Amino acid sequence: MSESKFKYQGVGREYQKKLLTAWNDRLQSAESDGRKVAYLFVPGNVAEFLRVFDFELVFPEVNALQCGVRKISGDYILKAEDVGYSPDVCGYVKNDIGMMLAGNVGPSGHKIPKPDLLLCTYCGCTTFIKWFEALAHYYDVPLVLLDIPYLRGSVIEETDRQYIVQQLKELIPLCEKMTGNKYNHDKLVEITKHAAEAEDLWVQILHSAKRKPSPFDSYFEAVFFMAPIYILRGLPECTDYYREAMKEIQERIEHGVGPIPEEKFRVVVEGPPPWPHFRSFWELLKRWGVCAVASSYSKVGGFWDHGFRHDPTRPLESIADYCLTCYTNQNLAMRTDLLKTYAEEYDADAILIHSVKSCRSFSVGQADMREQFLRKWDLPTLLVESDLADPRYFQIAQLRNRIDAFFESLEHKRLVHA
């Protein structure tokens, strides 16, 4: 297929690069321009709410994963361990602390501004609280905890929703005092409208993986495609990005091409990627023609593909719903059922669990998940282990042996049944 026939190939990536560069530039000039900076986490983040007050937003996990991709996280992790952080502590936390101790120069090479506000949304991960407590100590800035109840069933309890809405309302005076900007409900309505439009487009991209062959890898590619939905959600340029990205996906569909030359196996992936060895991990699977058609990590901040949208007619309530339904705020049974549902909806051949040593929020219970998939549903499942940020725990020879043996077995079963 001639490259000239692909009008939109790479257009979305270039546009995303432009948007993220502009975001970095705004962070660099925030202090001199008199704009306040808030740090918050990706899962259950309340970006729309903070944008009403014109906060610039920093996501420490995004910095950490980018450090991993650029292979500089190892040195930062060692710096954090030198001041007393245990090897068992989350690699993201140690990367962030080490980066701060080294001068807080981010993975882009620019200095990350000091926060004016640390807003911790407690969505299932207790490490979040301790992480931001440490940053509050180092930076000597206010720390606000937005307490999110666990999602205990498939239906959101109205008392839980209103509990979060009330916390957001109590946060308004602090944000107004800190930024000098008054709460503007109409502005929040407009922001949530843009968010919902971007979410609609993102779901179209995710659902495109139901096709055979899939035009999109919902794990290895999704981690790049999904960056704007977290970092820039609520801004009109975020919606513009997903329009461009969707054009690329539609073009792939028209030409019958996908992320790998020939799709042989379709898998659902559970767990975050090993960022310092991201490319190597992908190559171990590509050589078997593996395409990830669905993943839990691409839903780490929201279940848009199961119907959630930010709602401009009830913006605060929909923000509360978003916080409640993020992946890490769900119990083990709900996560297990989700992965099984994905395997059915996307006609997957197997489930791949990447168990992360230092992320208990994801890894606790994954061995039980595997047993249930195998024994209850006879669903082939491979569990491999490394870490999301610490390069020391990625053993490529061991991983290659496990992956090769697993897909060789699946291939053999196909031949026997044929």
Residue-range definition of the domain harbouring residue 35: 3-179
Residue 1: pLDDT band by 50, 70, 90 thresholds?
A: very low
User: What's the structural domain count of the chain?
Assistant: 1
- Within a domain: residue 408? no
Residue 418: pLDDT band by 50, 70, 90 thresholds?
A: low
Spatial distance between the Cα atoms of 16 and 86, rounded to a whole number of angstroms: 36
Spatial distance between the Cα atoms of 223 and 226, rounded to a whole number of angstroms: 5
Q: pLDDT per residue over 202-247, tens digit each?
A: 999 999 999 999 999 999 999 999 999 989 999 999 999 999 999 9
Q: pLDDT per residue over 145-192, tens digit each?
A: 999 998 888 889 999 999 999 999 999 999 999 999 999 999 999 999
- Within a domain: residue 128? yes
Q: What is the mean pLDDT of the chain?
A: 93
Q: Report how many helices (DSSP H) and strands (DSSP E) the chain contains, helices first.
A: 17, 8
Looking at residue 251, its amino acid is E
- Within a domain: residue 175? yes
- Within a domain: residue 21? yes
> H or E element: which one contains 355?
strand 350-356
Spatial distance between the Cα atoms of 361 and 192, rounded to a whole number of angstroms: 28
- Within a domain: residue 67? yes
* CATH number of the domain encompassing residue 140: 3.40.50.11890
CB environment 380-392: b (16+ within 10 A), e (fewer): bbbbbbbbbbbbe
